[in-house]
Amino acid sequence: MYALNYVRPKSLAEAAKFLASHPEAKLLAGGMTLVPTLKQRLARHSHLVDIAQLRELRGIEVKDGKLAIGAATRHHDVAISAAVKKAIPALAELAGLIGDPQVRNLGTLGGSVANNDPAADYPAAVLGLSATVVTTKREIAADDFFRGMFATALEEGEIIKRIVFPVPKRAAYAKFHHPASGYAMAGVFVVVTAQGVRVAVTGAGPGVFRWKAAETALAKSLKPAALDGAALKVDDFNEDIHVDRAYRANLVRVMAKRAVAKLAARGR
C-alpha cells in the first residue's frame, strides 16, 4: 500500500465537500475491493474518506410497498434482517451468498453497487427488482445505472445514499460460485411483478444485464422449461482460464431455471 491519509467525515455533506476539494481522494465503505487493490499497489489515492460509519447511510425500512436500504448497510445485516426476509426474501438470501463471513460483515450494499464488479451479486438484485439508486445528487433507475464492467452512471463526487427496492410479488436468486473467488460465475435474479417478469444476470457478461428473451418466455409460462428455447447472446460473455463462454451460457440457463423453480416454492 502506498502511504495515504485517512479521514472520517461526520456527515454525508462533509464527505461530499471533502471529495469535491480533493480530486485524488477515494470513498471507503467496506473496502472489500478497494483495500486489496491498495495493498497490491494497483491504485494510489491521496485520501480515503471513510463513510462506512455514517448513520444517515445505515438502516433498513419498508414503507409504501418499498424496501429502502442504506448504502452503508452491511451484507450480513441485510441477510439477517427480518424486514428484508419478509419483504424480499430473495434479497436476504443473495446477501447471505456474498463472499464469506468476513466479507459479509464488512462489505456494504452501496460499495458493491458503486463498484459494479461484473461478477458481484447485488447488481443482479438491483437491476432485477428495478430498484432506484438514490444519491446525493439525484435518483437513478437501475436500468440507467449500470454501464458495463466497473462502470456506472455515478458522476465524480456523487455518493449513493440508499437503494429503494419495490417489493415484488415474488423473486428468487440462483448463483453458481466461482470455485476460487466465490464471486458469481453466473447469478440469475428472477422477479415477478404486476408489470411482468424481469431476469437479471450477473457473472457471465461484461456487466449485469437483463435477459430479455427469458423475460418474454417466462411471461408466457412461468416454468423452468420455458427457458429451454430462450435465445441467449453470448458473444461478449467472459472467458478466462477457468471457464469458456459455452459453459457460462449453460450456467446462466441452469441458474435461471433454478431461480424459476424456487419461485414456485415462494408463494406470495
Partner 1 sequence: MFHCVRGSNSNTRTFPDTAIVEPHASHHSNRVEDFRLITGTGKYAADWNLPGQLYAWFVRSDRAHAEIVSLKVERALKHLGVKRVFTGEDAVRAGYTKFFVIVNYPGRGGQPIKKPARPSLAAGRVRHVGDAVAMVIADSAAAAQDAAELVEVEYRDLPAVVSVEEALAPGAPQLHDDVPGNLPFDYESGNEEAVKAAFQNAAHVTKLRLEVSRVAPSPLELRACMVQYEPKDESYHVYVCIQGINMMRKQLSFATDVPEDKLVIHAQDVGGSFGQRSAAYPEYCMLMLASKELGKPVKWVSTRSEGFMSDTHGRANTIQGELALDRDGKFLGLRLDWIADMGGYLSATGSASHTRNPSACMTGVYRIPALYGRFRLAFTNTVPVAAYRGAGRPDIAYVIERLVSQAAAELKMDAAELRRRNFIPREAFPYKTPTGSTYENADLRGVLEKALKVADWKGFAKRRAQSQKKGKLRGIGISTVIENTGAGLFPKDQITLECSADGTVTAYTVAQSSGQGHETTFAMVVADTLGLPLERVRLRESVQSKGLIGNHTGGSRSLVGAGSVCKLAAQKLIDQGRSLAAQELQVEPSQVEYAHGAFQARGSKKKIGLAELAKKQPLSVMAEATVGSTFPNGCHVAEVEIEPETGTTRVVSYNAVDDAGNVVNHAVVEGQVHGAVTQGAGQIFCEKVVYDRDTGQLLTGSFMDYCMPRAGLLRAINVEDHPLPSANNALGAKGVGESGCTASLAALANAVVDALRPLGAQHLDMPLTPAKLWHAIQSAKKGKN
Minimum distance from residue 257 beta carbon to partner 1 (Å)? 8
Nearer to partner 1, 51 or 252 (CB): 252
> For the sheet containing 5-7, what is the strand order?
5-7, 47-50, 25-28
Nearer to partner 1, 145 or 183 (CB): 183
Minimum distance from residue 180 beta carbon to partner 1 (Å)? 4
Minimum distance from residue 102 beta carbon to partner 1 (Å)? 13
Nearer to partner 1, 235 or 240 (CB): 240
H helix and E strand count, the chain: 11, 12
Q: What residue has cell string 422477479?
A: 191
Phi, psi of 197 (to 5 degrees): -115, 140
> Would you tell me which residues interact with partner 1 (CB under 8 A)?
2-3, 40, 176, 179-181, 240-244, 246-247, 250-251, 254
CA 63 to chain centre: 21
| Contact criterion met (CB below 8 Å) for 220 and 226 | yes
Minimum distance from residue 179 beta carbon to partner 1 (Å)? 5
Minimum distance from residue 152 beta carbon to partner 1 (Å)? 22
Nearer to partner 1, 2 or 6 (CB): 2
Nearer to partner 1, 151 or 246 (CB): 246
Residues, the chain: 268
Q: How many CA atoms lie within 13 A of 263 on its CB side?
A: 25
